[in-house]
Structure 1
């Protein structure tokens, strides 16, 4: 009887068996996956692919996972941590990008994917759309409000610079500061392009703002955030939301000097002042020292001339008043005669008093005995021994004296003529003369307005414009206040 070609195991399951002439041996799953992987990578080892980002996710390891899609298909993608540093923008869902890489398979899930080596936005128009989208978002939050911009200090003692330590930008800034007004510069070195650059710039701006004013590292009076020119992709670090928010929230005034004059970043809108170039930022941060010296010298000469004229006029007024005074002999004649009379009466009175005192001493001398004196001294010693100084009494006296001293200090502060200047008032002077009325101001013509932070010159016009400020409502029983006009209008 012929044996059947079909075989079964002990459990009754069908066993595979090789047939004579069969040249297609079975492959393992791993072998098939490896062959597919080699075939796909050999055929699609370098491709450029355009699509829309979907499902962007950054893993804790630093790698990124995403999907690229269009209207008809979708492909998974992965970007290793080493390639992330070459992206000039922050990827997000919905961006239209062009990626370069190779197509491979992932045997663990039986799928194909693209390993991305570089990523670019699909044209400058897409990058500008992202720019305008972020700009509108931050503007709606009020980060670009011009009313929040602060003035740059005229003479900063310390200048903080946030830029690359190896580029030409920091050398240009230091060279320009040395030419105009040598200053103390603190550099916070950062990357200005590539992965991690935005985080470093934002950290530097916040770090400068967190320095204590009286700490071991001096806190800058002004910050310069600078970078050289480049394409919009190169400057994209300064369009990142983290950098813009750090600049807008900085407690220190910020000058943005990113790129050239034609370049614009969101950091420029959030800063207190925009400079066309890093060199121009240094010029805006400090004045020209030689010009300041010349101006101070001129002001000193004007002050001396004013003092000299004031002294001459005072001498003339004093001389005119001296001529009107009566002669000293006429004024002092009666006083001299009365003084002589009193001197004579004083001599007689002293002589009479001395004689009476001698009689009293003679009468008392007979009653003086050592025993009486010793008894009185002993009573004084006993009385002195009973006196004990109490610390509580002294502390009360000291506390009372401190309260009186504090009261006098507050009174002196309230009477300080310069105190109202800190509350927004100004003192009007014509030379060394204080102007108290509008008529005196019109007669003087040119006046000096003294504020809390300095002085400025002004010219009084005969035409008084209508007050702009809305008068404060008067309290019950008081007249309505008159609005103050703007002298600079």
Structure 2
């Protein structure tokens, strides 16, 4: 019995119907990769996990509602319809909604390394080396078969055909490719030791691709090799929207490989126009100078020097004689003035001779010393008289003088002066001091 054969379209349509009826709309988690944004606004990407992947389509209307732009490496949850793209026979998800679910593992590694190297200062502008304005030799570290190297060679050849270009072939994708680029940088920094021309600038780059495709340019070993390079390094990786660790650590980041070639190669045609303009200005300037010199020579030819040289020579001799006479007169007047000033200074010096001034100072000093000694003696005598008077007054007013006039002073047993008999009691011992000596007594009665 022969079964009827299905066409490919019939089979695919049945599979699509089965998938749509079995799954319908679903939520799926995974990591975005191979993101492509079309000019129409539609977006295509692959949603993957550790062991599988599925194609996804996000049409423009749904993409406009996203809260953030999608990018490779992003972990997301997508909601959509499972279906089959019949022309290719691939099953896919028509995405209606996307929710972020954190960074993918590669993106997380990228951000962590970027932060680490930034904190170490590898991105600081103070370490950036200047790119030669007119390089003689440029080294391209890239894939020898990619479109990027062809574009760069075409631009360099068109703009600067005299420029020496050295292509150092390496892999720019896949495991271990970063080590090949590191080795290329090491060799090019010591190019003469390997019999190679020493490059003025090194371009490290490749064309565009997914985050996975460009990952070798995000490896730490390559970043440190670029930083350690003594030759300036230009990073030209991917498209303008692609950023890698190499871009941040390089001395210059070019948005694309083609842009790197245009930045490095001066435009030969433009330089030729510039030099031609300089030549024209120089030629015009030279012609102007020559014309002026010719006019001056012509005027000199028609002047008196050519027609009457003897008369001019006589006039010159006469002018020299006049100048000589004027100089002699000026010197005589100057000498006379100098002599008069010298006489004035001598007279002033006679009036103020040092010996005479010194003798006058000595006489004045002796007079002042005599006056000072006389004033001091007078002051001492006055002070002595005052001292004697005060001593006499003090003696006349002192207690000894009072006692000499018949008065006495009585003190109690503690030596305190007794001024009130009420302060004493019967039987107290008192001492009475007279002008000559003292005596003790006992209180028997208070009056």
Q: TM-score range by the shorter chain?
A: 0.3 to 0.5
- TM-score when scaled to structure 1? 0.41
Bigger proportion of residues as helix = 2
- TM-score when scaled to structure 2? 0.45
